[in-house]
Structure 1
């Protein structure tokens, strides 16, 4: 998929297909909703995103948060001229997941010209918070990377 063509009208199945042969696909992350300043997604607990004891790995939560926040930033910038690069991820794990799905909602809380700040809450299927994550993305000109 040519990422410069990514926009709010890009079908979710095309976005998810484009991510399948990457870390995102390996963890089982699926995007379920995109909007201006909002991205939602989930993954189902599996051996690919769990600790050896079967519990959800906290790093998988951070990867999902950075994925959704990164996609959100990409959707609101001109990808022909700029790129969104994750520069800081900080999470607090407040619960565990031993079965089922982890659902994440990423919302932008600062939309600057050079940085975007996102809050990502990750919950279990019953709506209990299991992680809350802040993601900062740098917005850089493509020729400045």
Structure 2
């Protein structure tokens, strides 16, 4: 992927909307290529659960944001929309501070179904969370 296209995609994703969960969690898209999408999220008290570690729901929100946006990049949004229908998330390691990085890649990229896996890692590369996500690719005419 050309650097100019990569930068354009990252700018579009990072500025898509100013009022959404991704912005609330400070998710920032950092890399994209033809088959993957990467984003970072800071781990700080506002995304902790009561024990002072990263809330599993915040990990799932990062994973779903990545999986959904990966699908968005690979469909004609004028005709269809990816709609999440299943998410399975395994929380594997706790983290209290720092930044986590999630990377989404396709397991299957079909015409009507996308299945992706998202690995969320800490700065040392430890696997914090592994998620699989299914998006159905729905024509706009069937969304109502």
Query: Which of 44, 47, 55 does residue 46 from structure 1 map onto?
Result: 44
CA distance in 1, matches of 2:18, 2:48: 18
Alignment match, 1:34: 32
Give the 3-state SS of the residue equivalent to 1:91 in structure 2.
strand
CA distance in 2, matches of 1:8, 1:42: 16
Deviations 1:74-117 (A, max 9, x none): 01100000001111110111101111011111000101111100
Alignment match, 1:4: none
Task: Flag structure 1 segments of 5+ consecutive residues without an equivalent.
Answer: 1-6
| Runs ≥4 residues deviating over 2 A | 7-11, 17-20
Alpha-carbon RMSD across the aligned residues, in angstroms, is 1.5
Report the CA distance shift for 1:136/1:74 in structure 2 as closer, same or farther (over 3 A): same
Report the CA distance shift for 1:19/1:126 in structure 2 as closer, same or farther (over 3 A): farther
**Mapped pair 1:115 → 2:104:** no
Q: TM-score, normalised by structure 1?
A: 0.89
Task: Flag structure 2 segments of 5+ consecutive residues without an equivalent.
Answer: none
Q: TM-score, normalised by structure 2?
A: 0.90
How many residues are treated as equivalent by the alignment?
139
Alignment match, 2:83: 85
Deviations 1:29-51 (A, max 9, x none): 11111222200011011233221
CA distance in 1, matches of 2:6, 2:123: 26
CA distance in 2, matches of 1:19, 1:41: 16
Alignment match, 2:61: 63
CA distance in 1, matches of 2:7, 2:28: 17
